[in-house]
Structure 1
Amino acid sequence: METEPVTYEVTDGYAVITLNRPDKLNAFNEAMHGALIQALERAEQDAAVRALLLTGSGRGFCAGQDLSDRSFPTDGEAPDLGATLERLYNPLVRRLRALPKPVLCAVNGVAAGAGANVALACDIVLAARSARFIQAFCKIGLVPDSGGTYSLPRLVGEARAKALALLGTPVSAEQAEAWGMIWQVHDDADLMPEAQKLCAHLATQPTRALGLIKRAIQESATNDMDAQLDLERDLQREAARSPDYREGVAAFLEKRPPRFTGA
């Protein structure tokens, strides 16, 4: 019996979405793409889910595209990988970035090619000490995709981004943390407990405000100061209308922990 390419579980107010092709290091094929998009849609629409945790099963997070799932046309024409990106990878990255809930990624081993860049598209990235991030595209004559050429320069600077993409040099979890590519490194045995603890915390926070914070920071990459100030004004107006803002102020004045509902 074939296993599901992605598993989905809700616990403590957050969803755990696990890439589940461990025999292929969770490399992407069409079935996994479809299942992952469905899981993200399910989590977005479920009001009881206030944070997401994305991880991989087995000894790796994601090895990128499953090359055995890709074929060359028999007529000698080159495959249209741009169409593949437009149909599969680009919608995935856009959905991760646009989700109005915090998305935490727990990188439990190798994250290569699109696997690395899907991880970097998440909001907070934790990595096991054994994890490696690899821009493997140059090894097979391709260009970094899944947002890699956007996120890498912004996270580590142009010089490092070019070197990583041109050389395909693996980056250790510790180096990724030192460069600001990810948030934190944990011992392998501690990765999932720490990720679960952080997600459980996020699930108790003002979800709508967290989604607006995510949007504001992302849009700052292409806004000038005036546009960003206008965006902050508009988003703050929206946040201040939420019941969680009223609760946060009341809790502060009453010197008690807030009881946010995510509304």
Structure 2
Amino acid sequence: MKPRRYILDSTLRDGEQMPGVSFTGQQKLEIARLLDEYGIHQIEAGVPASSKIEKDNIIKIMENRKKAVISVWARLMPSDIEHSIDCRPDLIHVSVPVSYVHIYAKLRKNKSWVMNQLYACLGMIEKSGIGLSVGFEDAFRSEAAFMLSVAQVLLDFGITRIRLSDTVGVATPSLCRRMIKDFSSAVENKAELGFHAHNDLGMAVANTVEAAKTGCIYADVTVGGIGERAGNCDLAQLVHASSSVFDWGITTSGARELQERFLEIVNEKQ
């Protein structure tokens, strides 16, 4: 029996960050229905903090879903958490910056700020009763020691879902294999790992396959590989490349058919 791995589709969140890509509320609802119909395990429905319209769209997706887990994305900010809680999703995914570049150069903060924000956000979500996953932003340019200190806080809170994000697309298959193996061992295999790839070097699919082989349970994808800059891991390509190794909950033909129907939705005249 092939090992089970789970697809997290971020078409409605990261996919919409691609230049020229913008979905109407009706398209988002139809895309979510499509993903749900084809057995996609988890749908990252959007960013509640971005607007009231986005929140309303996410709530409609929640009301219409059949089986898929619905998650939302939030920055490491209490205000983002408040907006996310309003939507009552199955899961709130919080992005935590862990690299020196992102913490000090991009955000102009420090590691103490990150930890303080983390505790504040964890406390809010714990009170809400909503599930939580945490993404390590720019994980593949970060210090292992700091990532482990953040991971220990999460494990102490009973949070085991951790996503390693190749935010700027610098990873290679060998780096993925080594880093994921070392991280998993350091947390004594207590974390359920996910992997989020970007395709800047053309290796999003290869990196995701290697991550899955090394023990990542969840793989982030988008339909057609759309996404920020060069895009994300392509759903159909991932399934085609590795369906002989893993059970993704969808067949290669199913993934291709899903993509064709997705294009019909986005190309339909409004």
Is this a same-fold pair by TM over 0.5?
A: no
Q: Which has the higher contact order (CA 8 A, sep 6+)?
A: 2
The TM-score, its normalising length taken from structure 1, stands at 0.32
User: Bigger radius of gyration, 1 or 2?
Assistant: 1
The TM-score, its normalising length taken from structure 2, stands at 0.31
